[in-house]
Amino acid sequence: MSIQLGDTLPSLLVTTSTQAQITLTDLVAGRAAVIYFYPKDATPACTTEAQDFRDLNPDFDALNCVIIGVSRDSVKSHEKFKANECLSFELISDVDEAVCRAFDVIKLKNMYGKQVLGIERSTFFFNAQGQLAYVWPKVKAQGHAAAVLNYVRQYQN
């Protein structure tokens, strides 16, 4: 299963950094949503991306758009990452990779000369009707949050 443009947000049961179990659709609750996938908490590029989304979160909020980060890290890791970086949005702990696989972001990557399965940094934008409107695959962390915000602004105007 892979999410395609125009598809509706799947109602997957997820575990958030606040240890809540909730469906993805209930977490979004009728707002537009930016769901970004990243490889690992507290690594340089992932921290940069999270900080940028954190800093722009008030702008996303003004557009009635929620930000959600997803990685395979544990809830405990997410709690620490959120606290250390003062993140004001939810992180989903996807240790079983159900969400990552639904969004098809688990890819073969080269890590120190070895092939490993990991998360390809990717972002998905769902409109307020819950339909996938845009996908950013193979994202570079630096400046990405600002590019997403610009897209959301243009989309909603």
* DSSP code for 129: T
Q: How far apart are CA 56 and CA 89, in angstroms?
A: 11
Question: Concatenated DSSP letters for 11-68?
Answer: --EEEETTS-EEEHHHHHTTSEEEEEE-S-TTSHHHHHHHHHHHHHHHHHHHTTEEEE
The answer to whether 32 touches 63, Cβ cutoff 8 Å, is yes
Q: Say which of 46, 65, 86, 100 is annotated catalytic.
A: 46
Reply yes or no on whether 46 is catalytic: yes
Positions annotated as catalytic residues are: 46
